[in-house]
Structure 1
Amino acid sequence: MLPTSSPPPGHSSKQRRHSRYSLLWLYFRRLFKPTQMDFQYTLWTMLQLCISPKTAYRHTSYHKQTKNHWARDDPAFVVICCTLVALAALAYCLAFSHSVGRSLLTIVSAVAVDFLAVGAAIATAGWALSNRFLRRQNQHSHAVEQSVEWMYAFDVHCNAFFPMFLLLYVLQLVLCPVLLMHTFVATVLSAVLYAVGSAFYVYITFLGYSALPFLERTEVFLYPIAGIVVALPLALLLGINPTKLVLKWYFDYQP
């Protein structure tokens, strides 16, 4: 039976704002209480993002059903990522930096800028794009209007970042003796590594937004792969080794 009255104007928007504030409060409260973070589930999610990303996002729908929001209310994923990025940056500094001050600046920059600030900018762009252009129009006047939460958009960035981190931070460091050689093979390996890492980021971002049932045309998030496909042969033709460029940017490294 249909309701005979509708909620007062602005009622649903007030509810959404209250829900967002409650989620933020819970999120930051847990940030300072490590015992309330579920690190075991977070590590399981990270594993799934590497071997079966769709499985990881399938659990997102379960989260919505049980807690009535799409975003994580547990900061464990961000905490682990920040720690891993800091440790990876420290490893690069030990290998390529000759200054303690420069090393500390690099570590802070890797976490605060490369992961958090750039990630927040990408999340904001995805959040604005999806809410402005990709939401399905409600077919029923009594249907509940849904929108992408900014915190969920940032979760999508974190999810996409982790496999890319393993490729472009960890694996690259292991392969540096080969990637820094003055050979065409080293250039090919470096360019392919960055292409695969970037494509993985784009694909998992696409999965994150396509997991939301109220969005449509989410294939737009796959469009950057076209740029990657074009950039890869150009890099090879021009002899551009991304690993050398990155190390030169951060450490003025001259192989």
Structure 2
Amino acid sequence: MSLSPPSRSPSSINSQFRRASYLPPPATYRQDCMSAAAKRYKYLRRLFKFQQMDFESAAWQMLHLLVAPQKVYRDFQYRKQNKAQFARDDPAFLVLLSLWLCISSVGFAITLGLGILSFLKLLLYVIFVDCISVGVVIASLLWFVSNRYLLKPQARGHEMVEWGFTFDVHLNAFFPLLLILHGLQLLIYYVLLDNDWFISRLAGNSLWLIALGYYVYVTFLGYKSLPILQGTQVLLYPLTALLLVYIVTIVIGWNISRSFMDFYHYRVV
């Protein structure tokens, strides 16, 4: 008499794979069945496993965010097809961005003549306030707006924009802004921007216009890449307000770069 192996339900198979997390899931494993909490847990669990991160892909994304940001969002679409989610499941981009924040904070400390304690306060402020806290607010606002007002009628009740994706869009848009305001601005600050000349005000305020304008543009590209959304061109409307503010600051003689540096200096000393 031949003995056949006992049958196992799909749920028991999935539970075995969850217990043995070091094994890859089978080809039939449904990523889209994972809850948002499970996806966040999986993401955070990989945050300190550097050997599992794809830093080459993250560096490629950072480069293309500067020269061809549309290509980055094509990668997001491939992830949706293969892993049933638009949001990143690899924290390599966040790790590299944190490294850039550390480097730029060192530049600020040197430029402003900060001590060790003031540098650490500045670093924590830049990471947890400028990048993360502001990002959470913007991501949550656009997550609500996109799911409430921009979803196509046929997608309502079936699909929605992931909050993780909205935060990824913020990180994408924040990186070019970081290089402009925490990189290029620092390099030319004492040479050109820290003066009462009209050219200083024009150059400094123009850097802010470019940085914030590019943030808005990269954000727009992110939501435009989602096939479940419509009317995403409204996300470009802040560009008009930015241009008006830029003109006003030039006319009234407000040097935004100098105010920015003064704010950081008195915030941490």
- Normalising by structure 1, we get a TM-score of 0.88
**Are positions 1:167 and 2:176 aligned together?**
no
Question: Which AA in structure 2 matches 1:202?
Answer: V
Q: Provide the residue aligned with 1:220 in structure 2.
A: 234
CA distance in 2, matches of 1:112, 1:105: 11
CA shift digits 1:40-87 (9 cap, x unpaired): 000001111110011111111111000001100011111111121122
Q: Which runs of 5+ in 1 are unaligned?
A: 1-14
**Kept in 1: contact 2:32–2:84 (CA 8 A):** no
Native 8 Å contact 1:136 1:216 kept in 2 = yes
Equivalent residue, structure 2, for 1:206: 220
Query: Which residue of the partner structure matches residue 206 of structure 2?
Result: 192
CA shift, 1:17, in A, is 7.5
CA contact 2:204–2:255 (8 Å) conserved in 1: yes
For the structure 1 residues 113 and 17, does the alpha-carbon distance in structure 2 shift closer, same or farther, using more than 3 Å as the test? farther
**1:86 touches 1:108 (CA, 8 Å); kept in 2?**
no
How far apart, in 1, do the equivalents of 2:125 and 2:135 lie?
13
The answer for the alignment partner of 1:238 in structure 2 is: 252
Unaligned residue ranges in structure 2 (runs of 5+): 1-30
Q: Give the CA deviation at 1:99.
A: 3.5
Q: For the Cα contact (< 8 Å) 2:177–2:212, is it kept in 1?
A: yes
What does residue 155 of structure 1 align with? 168
| Map of 1:178 onto structure 2 | 192
Partner of 1:27: 43
Say whether 1:137 aligns with 2:153: yes
For the residues of structure 2 that align with 1:132 and 1:119, how far apart are their CA atoms? 19
TM-score, normalised by the number of residues in structure 2:
0.84
Instruction: Indicate yes or no: 2:103 matched with 1:90.
Output: no
User: Could you tell me whether the CA contact under 8 Å between 1:97 and 1:251 is conserved in 2?
Assistant: no
User: How many percent of aligned residue pairs carry the same amino acid?
Assistant: 35
Aligned to 1:6: none
Once the two structures are TM-superposed, the CA of residue 129 in structure 1 deviates from its matched residue by: 0.6
Aligned Cα RMSD in Å? Answer: 1.8
